Amino acid sequence: MQHLVTRDAIWSALDRPWDLIVIGGGITGAGIFREAARAGLRTLLLEAQDYAAGTSSRSSKLVHGGLRYLKNAQIKVTVESVGERERLLQEGKGLILPLGFIYLSYVGDKVPLWVFGTGLAVYDILGLRWGHKRYRPTEIARLVANAGRDGLLGGYRYFDAQTDDARLVLRVIREGVADGGMALNYAAVRGLLRRADGRVCGVAVVDQAPEGAGRSLELEAPVVINATGAWVDEVRGYVGGPPQLRRLRGCHLIFPAQRFPLARAVTFSHPVDHRPVYALPWEGVSLFGTTDVDHDQASLEEPVIDAGEVDYLLAAVRHVFPELDLSESDVLATLAGIRAVHDTGKADPSKESREHVLWQESGLLSVAGGKLTTFRVMAHDALRRVRRDLPGRPRFRERARVLAPAPGAETLPAALAPGQRLRLVGRYGQEAPALVAAASPGELEATIAGSASVWAELRWAARAEGVVHLEDLLLRRLRLGLLLPRGGLDCLTQIRAVAQPELGWNDARWAAEAAAYERLWAEQYYLPG
């Protein structure tokens, strides 16, 4: 399989005829790549940075049915999302996890409690499961121990799901590779090839990896799909497409679970603008978000939270959890991502539709918008649009599983706790047995600095998952940069002992990568300034 092939070997194998080239290695591109490879097409995925480096590693980690979209009458996206959530819960056990929510209602909230309850009833009907329940204030006090009591009117319980977004992307891409596709990160498309009639017929790609030394190729394919998220308009610009996207920034604060303990997710209205915000238990920390503002920063590659967004989120935390006395000094890390939505000119960014949009221009198909939960729907919509241009006009299996069947958790060593076995199977799918076989003694049992990840995962990621930079390893393959104090810098010596030999880096390369990661984490994943 491709995970044991060197980057040089992959690069040397690129210059061949392709049926389909997908630009973009986030969840949208990964889904298209996986479905095309499953259909037997010679499919290539190219990602300019790392897999999931953009929005798909910076989301709210929710696989949700779009409850908040109901109030904006976005019925279609809600119906699609609820159905896809249920599919993913069934097929992605260990990676897609059910998550209970408690909605809190306070005096002065814009949405009355009974209205929210009506929305939940519709939500449950769409999901074919009746899971919501109303609670009185005294009952809420037992369910959410640290919530403020002043003005509390009661609340509701309901259910959604969550995931590790970057690991979901990796699993989908790896399954596409197992089906015969080829994927390469740090391979930037710098132009499109055009026929005499102007129709797109391929891409010009440049290697961005340090060892690649800027090597480049021109690759041909009858179909090219642009799934680059926040960069969709830039790629569309190669064929003269006018800008269509509105880039919205969503930011989160991450707290240690000891300072912000959560038994379940909690959602409520922000006291200032009444937007829904939420606190989630995730991978042993507490994630709080999100903002929704127009992204006016210069960088798309590394958006950052600004001071105003920090104040906005802390104000909401202090409003509902006053007893915790949380402040900036309690923040473990921050997370900022860009949602690229179709720009319809609405004054309120939150009212822009999250439905996906397709543009076909000079043979280039671009897909934008949508959400993590509906990546399979987006993939099939895109592939249906280009089917007549693909060799043999293939049929795509819309009823097939989203994720390939994984080995049963019982196939992993019995010495592992049941929860750990399920976690490994969910995150690594069919490759979980290979990860176990690659582990050195004790690496399956010992966690990294008390996080949920074990050392065997670090070894496997460094050996087999296309890591080019240290940030790929610590921010996306494993999420240590978000889960550990100082982004995991305090245990970098132990990480180095496992990862450096697997990566094949000399001491100078490791030192440079470590210094670059330390700068990146401080500037982009911590508090501003």
Given a contact cutoff of 8 angstroms between Cβ atoms, the answer to whether 241 and 274 are in contact is no
Residues 6+ apart with CB under 8 A from 21: 43, 44, 45, 46, 202, 203, 219, 221, 223, 224, 225
List, as one string, the DSSP characters of 32-71: HHHHHHHTT--EEEE-SSSTT-SGGGSS--EE---GGGGG
Q: How far apart are CA 200 and CA 221, in angstroms?
A: 9
CA-closest candidate to residue 333, choices 360, 304, 293: 304
Q: What is the pTM of this model?
A: 0.95
Residues 6+ apart with CB under 8 A from 27: 52, 56, 165, 168, 169, 172, 372, 375
Per-residue pLDDT of the chain (529 residues), as tens digits, is 344 568 889 999 999 999 999 999 999 999 999 999 999 999 999 999 999 999 999 999 999 877 766 666 667 778 888 889 999 999 999 999 999 999 999 999 988 898 888 888 887 877 667 788 999 999 998 999 899 999 999 999 999 999 999 999 999 999 999 999 999 999 999 999 999 999 999 999 999 999 887 899 999 999 999 999 999 999 999 999 999 999 999 999 999 999 999 999 999 999 999 999 999 999 999 999 999 999 988 777 889 999 999 999 999 999 999 999 999 999 999 999 999 888 777 767 766 677 889 999 999 999 998 889 999 999 999 999 999 999 999 999 888 999 999 998 888 998 899 999 999 999 999 999 999 999 999 999 999 999 999 999 999 999 999 999 999 999 999 999 999 999 999 999 999 999 999 999 999 999 999 999 999 999 999 999 8
Q: What's the pLDDT score for residue 3? A: 46
Q: What's the pLDDT score for residue 2? A: 43
CA-closest candidate to residue 421, choices 405, 433, 404: 433
Q: Judging by beta carbons within 10 Å of its beta carbon (0-12, 13-18, 19+), is residue 460 exposed, middle or buried?
A: buried
Q: What's the pLDDT score for residue 72? A: 64
Residue type at position 278: Y
User: Using CA atoms in the order 336, 341, 343, 348, what is the torsion angle rounded to 10 degrees?
Assistant: -60
User: 454: which DSSP letter?
Assistant: B
